[in-house]
A and B are shown apart, each in its own frame.
Chain A
Amino acid sequence: MDILTLLVVVPVLTVIALLFTKDLKQSRFITMIGSIVQLGMAINLLFAYFRERAVNASIMLFTRDLTWFESLNIHYSIGVDGISVALIILTSVVVLAGVFISWKIDDLPKEFFVTLVILSAGVYGVFISVDLFTLFVFYEIAVIPMYLLIGIWGSGPREYAAMKLTLMLMGASALLLIGILGIYFNSNADGGALTFNILEIGKVNIPIEAQKLFFPFTFIGFAVIGAFFPFHTWSPDGHASAPTAVSMLHAGVLMKLGGYGVFRVAMFLLPEGAKHWSNFFLVLAVIGVVYGAFAAIKQTDLKYINAYSSVSHLGMVLVALLMMNKTAWNGAILQSLSHGFMTALFFALIGMIYGRTHTRDATKMGGLLKTLPFISMIYVIAGLASLGLPGMSGFVAEMNIFAGAFQHPDLFHRIISILTVSAIVVTAVYILRVVGMMLMGPITDSHFEHLPKDTWYERAGIYLLMIPIVGIGMLPLWLSNMIMSSLDPFIQRLL
């Protein structure tokens, strides 16, 4: 079996193995093994990719094509480029960290891990798919377990949050399906058969009217999961109610599907549509950037702060994608990765703090640096990474986005760019506000004077996420080269 299909098969095998487990210890052990294998394979894939890329110049590597449903020309068609490889590594790291963070989940552990692993299988599937239909199927597989994960293991108004999240994402999926079918039924514009294959459609010139019609459907369909203003409201409620590992996975990985889909499907397949609509969506995206940051200032619940911060950061991804140049695109992918690691880390830390103080209200906490030195220090570092401190991944990503955005000299793009850059100031405000309120200052509550220390599995999860953040931040060149080299087909098609 080829190394890409294995990425989906291993989670499935993990699920099967999980069915035979009896208690928390066994199920978390099985999941951990499965995730470690998955991480190993992802890293192996990275090296295999470099080896293969040296000798193979085609767009997608490790391709494989099996006919799935012949009469509609649906294939199980897979392949990866640098972008997908990077995102696959992100996924495997975040999943493993998520398993460590859910080490002590006591409520229905087996079912929890089964759902979590199914979700991850869907995400891997999306990243390796070259066929639109397969991609859509995997996308739904990734989205639907969220309902169970939030509805069953969540906290607070979880039914409401789960329902809201699922319905909004399903609504987006409906739009997306229209878009995909629109692309499919126009894929024979240059003669030839109808096809779902992204690479083949990538060679077709879909009629401009059709592109203009279907681009918004496809764009919004994907962008909703990327917290696109004004369709982002599922995100704060969803994150607030979700259990820690689910928040991590969701913000860290699932929300990346949005940007990825917009780029790979909407923009790559409908280039004229993208050009026609880019200014309109650019305005909405930049509103998301600024607005998310400002809204985050007013929140007191740590998870809400983080959710709005995600709206802001992922807004930057969309801004960068719509900026239509190589630097900005590179920044968008880097930002997706960086935000993935960073938010996962943030949510993990919030989970740890919540598990100890039993509150997520930043105003009720204080002086945690003294009682929880390690977790608090990492929180500060994560915060600094989030506000774009050099040496951390966020800085590299944001700078690429800004440098790309500034390559458009016209006034409209200048204003958009400057507004985007201004978010770094507001980000600093809301991050430092929380740090100052919650971690520094005097201890506000006598309960907080003696809190349990950090455990080995928590540290494992933290280090796992810290390494890529610092690694990308310090030595961005290899990663950025890998992504840049994968952008050529997009450049040919869109520029």
Chain B
Amino acid sequence: MNFSYTFLVPLIPFAVFIFLGFFYNRIKENISGWIGVAGLTSVAVLSYYTAIQYFYHTPKLDGKFQTFVYSVNWMNFTDTLKVDMGVLIDPISVMMLVVVSTISLMVHIYSMGYMHGDRGFTKFYAFLSLFTFSMMGLVLATNLFQIYIFWELVGVSSFLLIGYYYEKPSAVAAAKKAFIVTRFADFGFLVGILLVGYYLGSFDFQYLNGPEGIAAAQKFGSIFMGFSVIGLALVLMFMGGAGKSAMFPLHIWLPDAMEGPTPVSALIHAATMVVAGVYLVARMFPMFNFVDHGSALHIVAWVGAISTLIAAIIALTQFDIKRVLAFSTMSQIGYMMLALGVSGYDGHEGVGYMASMWHLFTHAMFKGLLFLGAGSVIHAVHSNLMQDMGGLHKYMKITSITFLIAALSIAGFPGFSGFFSKDEILIATFHHNRPIFYITLFVAGLTAFYMFRLYFSIFWNKKTHYHHTPHESPLTMTIPLVFLAIMSIVPGYFPFTEWVTPDKVGFHGHIDPMMASIATTVGVLGIGLAYFFYFKPTDYPAKISAAFGTFYVWTKNKFYIDELYLFVTRNIIFKYISGSFAWFDKKVVDGTMNLIGNSTVVGSEAIKGVQSGKVQDYAFAFVGGVIILVIVVIYML
């Protein structure tokens, strides 16, 4: 099979971006929308074609899925350390192609309705295309450096799209925060990449994840707390991944990123970009698994577990529906991380890896749907707050039903896709790390609860009085909802275990009835509790939150992590470090230079009297000089 045509997958959105970027003030809204959708449709078609070709029509080699690499030399650091640009086709990249192109296409279609009449419509589509280009480049990267390049590019597109409503100060602040926090994480990523490049002499995934790369990486002795230098590099790379994937403690940008337009939140901050960190770990999985006996994976697992727990707890208390979804995203990505973290490599041991990827896939679909549904609601009531909503089921049947499907899916209700992927994660954690298993199970319950709290508060609960009667969104917005609703069910029945495993061999998966019943019980418990609390207006929530007291206040304020960061950056870094540098520069460094300048002035002031203008003084000095010279010549020499 020849997959070299997949070069087109990133290049088509790039061409669209260039075109829309250059003619942004000369094209009509409709046309730029259709150009964007047409470009993305072709990308989606190519991606689906690739997926079908790859999984069904490409012969396996030694029972493994083959890896195809097509690349060109882009830059050389040394004669041996080269950076290529190209495409790499293997199970996870093909899977990601499908995820990104599906969600992106849906968002493109959806935005035609959602952004209708916006001043920067063309700009919006240009940015969306830029993002899609970068994300595709990231997904298809053949080497660490290419992944870093596109990693930065998705960061920038995210910055541009979060700050899309640039006249809102909060949006500007959020965009800045997102970029700087992820940039800080990327600093670690870059150092990690450079260390790997230096010690292993290559950035290439094929080499690094192959037997030679692993063997070379295992040679290094432990230098710090049981980590070898390569292990440290992997931890640093995971830092980059944690930044992009909003893992604790680098998650602070994600909730604020909801300032962007809702379709952007769906595309970037729910389905695609935020899972880049998961994808990175999965991409480097053999390294993570084999270097230092998987010490780095332990960190991945625990960071994921802590994030999923914290995010789920915070999500219980938020009232902004997009923020609830943002914390839910963080929590679900924590799931994927911890599943990767507990995974092994061979055969059935790789169930965590498989579950993580599967969950990535299903999560992208149902979380994209939840965001688009939330967007549809916001579009109707012009508010983000739960208090302003209620009883919307009557007005927006399609949104309500699709939202319910997504909520059931994320809650792990049997039959929906989330049920299957979450089940596999539970199995993986149960067999490999018991404490994390309990966390995962607990969070599963919390997830069901806060999702249905959200669902009931929006679509049922009290009958809010609206100024304008809310109505169902236009067709361009509901078609993606329906499509994604279908996609929130169907992927559960894909044979993922045979497609995506670390060793690329695949195994025959099955549902563990024991685990499934436990998970279902927990999920239904959460849903039932939410029904009891929120289906009709009650005063239980107020009572419960009062009972938790301080803990509730802390949770509602996201454990004051933002405030801590603000304190550190604003009061310590800006004020003391940066301020003192500026002061030092002005007073000390520049002062020294000025002192040198001024001292010549002072010195010349002191001796300028010598030039008195009196000719006799000069004559006297002259004669005196002659006499001294004479004395010197006669008596001293």
| Interface residue ranges, A against B (CB under 8 Å) | 163-164, 167-168, 229-234, 237, 291, 294-295, 297-299, 326-327, 367, 369-370, 373, 384, 387-391, 395-396, 399-400, 402-404, 406-407, 409, 417-418, 421-422, 424-425, 428-429, 432-433, 436, 439-443, 476-477, 480-481, 484
Contact call B176/A442, Cβ cutoff below 8 A: no
Contacts of B303 in A (CB 8 A): none
Residues of the A chain whose Cβ atoms lie less than 8 Å from the Cβ of B81: 327, 403
- Given that A298-B578, A403-B197 are contacting pairs, would A436 and B172 also be in contact in the complex, using a CB cutoff of 8 Å? yes
Closest residue on chain B to residue A418 by CB atoms: B191
For the complex, give the distance between the alpha carbons of A275 and B195 in Å: 24
Find the residue from B81, B187, B578, B579 having the highest chain A CB count within 10 A. Answer: B578
Question: Taking the complex as formed, is B544 at the interface, i.e. its CB lies under 8 A from any CB of chain A?
Answer: no
**In contact, B592 and A230 (Cβ under 8 angstroms):** yes
Q: Residues of B contacting A440 with CB < 8 Å?
A: 163, 166-167, 171-172, 175
> How far apart are the CA atoms of A237 and B597 in the complex, in Å?
15
Q: List B residues 184-241 near A (Cβ within 8 Å).
A: 184, 186-187, 190-191, 194-195, 197-198
A410 to B58, CA, bound (A): 48
| A295 lies within 8 A of B76 (CB) | no
Given contacts A407-B78, A407-B198, A425-B187, 10 further A-B contacts (CB under 8 A): A294-B582, A297-B574, A389-B153, A391-B153, A403-B77, A421-B187, A428-B180, A428-B183, A432-B175, A481-B76
Q: Does B512 contact A (CB under 8 A)?
A: no
How far, in whole Å, are A297 and B180 apart by their CA atoms in the complex? 13
CB distance from A364 to the nearest CB of B (A): 16
Identify which of A230, A294, A417 gathers the most chain B CB atoms within 10 Å of its CB.
A294
Considering the chains assembled together, what is the distance between the CA atoms of A168 and B589 in angstroms? 13
Is B75 in the interface zone, CB < 8 Å from A? yes
B605 to chain A, nearest CB (A): 17
Residue from B25, B150, B194 in contact with A402 in the complex, judged by beta carbons closer than 8 Å: B194
Q: Which residues of A contact B175 (CB under 8 A)?
A: 432, 436, 440
Listed in ascending order, the chain B residues whose CB lies under 8 Å from chain A are 25, 73-78, 81, 145, 148-150, 152-153, 156, 159, 163, 166-167, 169, 171-173, 175-176, 179-180, 183-184, 186-187, 190-191, 194-195, 197-198, 574, 577-579, 581-582, 585, 589-590, 592-593, 597
CB distance from A10 to the nearest CB of B (A): 34
A233 near B152: Cβ-Cβ < 8 Å: no
CA distance A441 to B171 in the complex (A): 8
In the complex, are the beta carbons of A389 and B582 less than 8 A apart?
A: no
CB–CB B578/A424 < 8 A? no
- The answer to whether B183 and A424 have CB atoms under 8 Å apart is yes
Q: Which among A230, A421, A433, A443 is the interface contact of B190 at CB below 8 angstroms?
A: A421
Contacts A295-B578, A432-B180, A477-B76 given; indicate if A442 touches B593 (C-beta within 8 A): no
Closest beta carbon of chain B to A209's beta carbon, Å: 29
A326 to B581, alpha carbons, bound, how many Å? 33
Q: How far is B152's CA from A70's CA once the two chains are assembled, in angstroms?
A: 57
How far is B265's CA from A135's CA once the two chains are assembled, in angstroms?
A: 57
Of B167, B578, B590, the residue contacting A297 (CB under 8 A) is: B578
Chain B residues with Cβ below 8 Å from A390 are: 148-150, 152-153
Residues of A within 8 Å of B159, CB to CB, are 432
Q: Would you give 21 A-B contacts (Cβ < 8 Å), ordered by A?
A: A164-B593, A327-B78, A370-B166, A389-B152, A390-B148, A399-B75, A400-B75, A403-B194, A404-B77, A406-B194, A406-B198, A421-B190, A421-B191, A421-B194, A424-B186, A433-B176, A436-B173, A439-B166, A443-B167, A476-B74, A480-B76
Q: A384, B156: Cβ atoms under 8 Å?
A: yes
Q: Considering the chains assembled together, what is the distance between the CA atoms of A367 and B590 in angstroms?
A: 34
Min CB distance A392 to B, Å, is 10
CA distance A229 to B589 in the complex (A): 9
Chain A residues within 8 Å of B76, by CB: 477, 480-481, 484
CB of A441 within 8 A of CB of B153, answer no
What residues on A are CB-neighbors of B180 within 8 Å? 425, 428-429, 432
Task: Name the residue on B nearest A408 (C-beta).
Answer: B198
Q: Is the CB of B172 within 8 A of A168?
A: no
Main DSSP-derived SS at the A contact region: helix
- A contact residues around B149 at 8 Å (CB): 390-391, 395
Q: How far is the CA of A116 from the CA of B43 in the complex (A)?
A: 51
| Number of A-B residue pairs with CB-CB distance less than 8 Å in the complex they form | 136
Is A436 a contact partner of B176 (Cβ separation < 8 A)?
Answer: yes
Determine if B172 and A299 form an interchain contact, defined as CB atoms under 8 angstroms apart: no
Measured CA separation A205–B589 after assembly (Å): 37
| Cα-based distance from A402 to B169 in the complex (angstroms) | 35
Instruction: Give the chain B neighbours of A422 by CB distance below 8 A.
Output: 187
Q: Contacts A294-B581, A433-B176, A440-B172 known; A477 to B74 CB distance under 8 Å?
A: yes
Q: How far is the CA of A55 from the CA of B578 in the complex (A)?
A: 53
- Nearest residue, chain A, Cβ from B76: A480
B167 contacts A441, CB within 8 Å?
yes
Shortest Cβ distance from residue A51 to the other chain B in the assembled complex, whole angstroms: 23
Cβ B574 vs Cβ A298 within 8 A? yes
Contact B590–A233 (Cβ < 8 Å)? yes
- CB contact under 8 A between A233 and B198, given known A298-B574, A428-B183, A432-B179: no
Least CB separation from A299: chain B residue: B582
Residues of A within 8 A of B152 (CB): 388-390, 395
Residues of A within 8 A of B171 (CB): 440
- Which residues of the other chain, A, contact B578 by a CB distance below 8 angstroms? 294-295, 297-298
A225 to B252 Cα, complex, angstroms = 42
CB neighbours of A432 from chain B (8 A)? 159, 175-176, 179-180
Contact present for A327 and B77 (CB under 8 Å): yes
Partner of A442, one of B73, B167, B581: B167
Closest Cβ neighbor of A390 among chain B residues? B149
Closest Cβ neighbor of A480 among chain B residues: B75
Q: Which residue of B lies closest to A424 (CB)?
A: B187
Task: Decide: A298 and B184 in contact? CB cutoff 8 A.
Answer: no
Nearest CB in chain A to that of B229: its residue: A409
Residues of B within 8 A of A439 (CB): 166
How far apart sit A404 and B81, CA to CA, in the bound complex (Å)?
Answer: 11
Chain A residue at smallest Cβ distance from B195: A406
A285 to chain B, nearest CB (A): 15
State in angstroms the CA–CA spacing of A373 and B169 once bound together.
18
Q: Which residue of A lies closest to B196 (CB)?
A: A406
A contact residues around B167 at 8 Å (CB): 367, 370, 440-443
Q: Which 7 A-B pairs have the closest CB atoms?
A: A298-B582, A440-B166, A390-B149, A233-B590, A297-B578, A406-B194, A440-B172
Docked CA distance A58–B130 (Å):
45
Query: Which residues of chain B are within 8 angstroms of A384 by Cβ–Cβ distance?
Result: 156
Query: Which residue of chain B has the shortest Cβ distance to A230 in the bound complex?
Result: B589
Contact present for B77 and A425 (CB under 8 Å) = no
Whether B577 lies near A294 (C-beta < 8 A) is: yes
